[in-house]
Structure 1
Amino acid sequence: MNTWNVRIGINPLSWMNDDLPALGGDTPLETALQEGAEIGYAGFELGNKFPKEPAALKAKLAQYGLACVSGWYSGQLAEDTVDHEIERCATHMEKLRFNGCRVVVYGEVAGSIQGRMDTPLAKRPQFADDAQWKAYAQRLNAFGEHLKAQYGITLAYHHHMGAYVESPQDVDRLMALTAPDCVSLLFDTGHAYFGGAGNPVELLQKHASRVAHVHCKDVRADVIRQARNNGWSFLDGVLNGTFTVPGDGALDYDTLLGTLHASGYEGWLVVEAEQDPAVAPSYAYAKKGYETLRRIVDRIDAATADAQLVAMEQGAR
């Protein structure tokens, strides 16, 4: 019987936060890797504590039987040239390629306020007109084409709070202006909701055919309302608990994963929830996120197997 070809991974943010080093800053990388493997995760996305050299990274993950899922790349194409981006990315992309990664998490950081504690989300950068949007899309297309040709890696664009592409309307526009064979979408459930998608399933249904990677956050809707109403920065929201792991918030993960399955998505489901580990203990929350996704994937597999069995029985009559 066929099973859904997805793997469940995790980002080290459950243990340590690169943007807010005070959150889990003293936690050794080895603690995260050991606990993640023990819980059942198949791989990790990268963070600042991972080895930078490709072979050393591969060896470190192999100690725990883990795969390299992908890694964030801080892109600047909103304000810079494709040639400069190609030069800047080489070391990172070669590390991902060496470690078997099929996608890169492209996060636009030019003009972004996502890492500024004192800047409210309302002051995020925005393109002034259609011409700027189109020029940006063209640069993304060229860069994505280069990544596929040079490294065999797909550009998975991460819509993100505090950046140029934040709202559902921004995602719609980006997908309309970019070429499917050059630019794919990283669908982040938490950022989709925080960005204005009251029901992230609707945004996912629009763009499921473009999804190449998935970040699985849950949200605390009341905290997100506070963040919007009180003019918080993105990091203020993180500290106050806007995000949590799947199964601990307001999102309907059964429908989200069912939508992905129906669309033919194959790849990683990555638990990623920026939280303070002193408030949300790393192991317990990482385990809850894994068990939530595992339960739903197993249910989908069982339903698929049942449907195949019925079809076989009917065909044999």
Structure 2
Amino acid sequence: MIRIGANPIGWSNDDMPELGGHIPLEQCLTEAKSVGFEGMELGNKFPRDAALLRPILAAHDLDLVSGWYSTFLIERSPEEELTAARAHIDLLKAMGCAVLIAAECTRTVHGTRGAPLSTRPVMTDAEWDRFNAGLTRFAELVAAEGLTLVYHHHMGTVVQTEAEIDRMMAGTGPAVKLLLDTGHATWGGADPAALARRYRDRIAHIHAKDVRPAVKAESEKGDWSFLESVVAGVYTVPGDGCVDYVSVLREVPDYAGWIVIEAEQDPEKAIPIVYAKLGYDNLVRFIAEAGLKR
């Protein structure tokens, strides 16, 4: 069964808190539910105590989908990573989540507005070996906790390009699943439909965001940072950019799980509820056109 969720980054940005910093959590949840979303991923305004978070989401009849976790497996062992992730894992388990979203953030530049994407980190061969082995072991430890690790390839990090996604997938064990992010794949130079076809058996979570080609081209020409590009509008909701969602979804005919709209924009330029509804309605239509069942 496919369920449609949202990430609150469309209302309030985690990497750049001043974007949407004035928008209360109550507004975000009320608007998300009114649009039709069934669940939400974590954001910086969510309490990280299940006893506090559960009644807040229940009041809006929303489930917790999951939440981002920054790994540093180039620098620390899987066992150290598990210790660092303990509170996050316990929250996800208490809230009934199925997946843990992980992204390697050693030396990442995606949260630094003054750091051009050209300065992002690139792993050495030795670091690749350490990272892939560590990610596999960490995923196995997470699985023992009852959660599936889904890896989030992301602009500005060590796993950004198609070649890097392929190297990670080839070098990790079956406990590591892929979070297919249509926006990061497209901006990173990959065809998300091709990735979906190649890894359909290991895709366990999907982030749906679209890309505005003109802003992408301007960002690349000017060597902008990730956050500068976001503010300029490189990302938008499904159906408002260049991603062919029907083609992507047709490559995962047996997919069951969450498809989460995660389209960070400046809420002063892109009114959150307007874009949330646009993205939701488009995604529902794309899912139906692709022949997937909800």
Question: What TM-score, normalized to structure 2?
Answer: 0.97
Correspondence for 1:292? 282
The secondary structure found in structure 1 opposite 2:252 is: helix
| Equivalent residues in 2 for 1:182-221, closer than 5 Å | 182-197=175-190, 199-221=191-213
Aligned residue in 1 for 2:133: 138
State how far apart, in whole Å, the 2-side matches of 1:227 and 1:304 are: 37
Look up the SS of the partner of 2:179 in the other structure. Answer: strand
Partner residue in 2 for 1:309 = none
Quote the Cα distance in structure 2 between the aligned partners of 1:304 and 1:82. Answer: 37
Partner of 2:147: 153
Letter in 1 for 2:41: E
Displacement of 1:299 in angstroms is 3.8
| Corresponding residue of 2:262 | 272
- Which residue is equivalent to 2:18? 22
1:98 is aligned to 2:94:
yes
Report which of the two structures shows the higher radius of gyration computed on alpha carbons.
1
Query: Secondary structure at the residue paired with 1:19?
Result: coil
- Counterpart residue type for residue 209 of structure 1: D
Q: Distance in 1 between matches of 2:140 and 2:79?
A: 13
Q: Within 1, Cα distance between the matches of 2:213 and 2:104?
A: 25
Distance 1:95 1:304, change over 3 A: closer
CA drift at 1:300 = 4.4
Superposition misfits of 4+ residues, deviation over 6 angstroms: none
How far residue 55 of structure 1 moved from its aligned partner, in angstroms, is 2.0
Instruction: Please report how far the alpha carbon of residue 260 of structure 1 lies from its aligned counterpart in structure 2 after TM superposition.
Output: 1.9
What's the counterpart of residue 162 of structure 1?
156
Cα distance in 2, alignment partners of residues 195 and 34 from structure 1 = 33
Residue identity matched to 1:192: A
Alignment-derived partner of residue 30 in structure 2: 34
**8 Å contact from structure 2 (residues 246, 290) kept in 1:** no
Which among 229, 240, 258 is matched to residue 232 of structure 2?
A: 240
Structure 1, unpaired ranges of 5+: 306-317
Query: Residue 85 of structure 1: CA displacement?
Result: 0.7
Alpha-carbon distance, 1:304 to partner: 7.5
- SS for the counterpart of 1:101 is coil
What SS class does the counterpart of residue 230 from structure 2 fall into?
helix
Greater percentage in helix: 1
- 1:132 is displaced (CA, Å) by 2.2
Please list every run of 5 or more consecutive structure 2 residues that lacks an aligned counterpart in the other structure. Answer: none
**Aligned residue identity for 1:53:** D
Q: Is 1:65–2:68 an aligned residue pair?
A: no
CA distance in 2, matches of 1:165, 1:30: 34
CA apart distance, 1:58? 1.3
Across the aligned residues of Structure 1 and Structure 2, the Cα RMSD in angstroms comes to 1.4
What one-letter code is carried by the residue in structure 2 that aligns with 1:134?
D
Deviation, structure 1 residue 90: 0.5
The separation in 2 between residues aligned to 1:299 and 1:138, in whole angstroms, is 39
User: How many aligned positions are there?
Assistant: 294
Q: Distance in 2 between matches of 1:78 and 1:215?
A: 25
**2:252 aligned with 1:257:** no
How much does 1:82 deviate? 1.6
Q: Is 1:47 equivalent to 2:36 in the alignment?
A: no
Please state if 1:178 is matched with 2:172: yes
Residue identity opposite 1:287 in structure 2:
K
Counterpart position of 1:310: none
In structure 1, how many angstroms separate the alpha carbons of the residues matched to 2:117 and 2:96? 35
Task: Please state whether the residue corresponding to 1:8 is helix, strand or coil.
Answer: strand
* Counterpart for residue 308 of structure 1: none
How far the C-alpha of 1:229 sits from its partner, in A, is: 1.5
Tell me how far apart the structure 2 counterparts of residues 80 and 274 of structure 1 sit (CA, whole Å): 30
1:312 paired residue number = none
Distance 2:78 2:293 in 1: 44
In structure 2, distance between residues paired with 1:111 and 1:160: 13
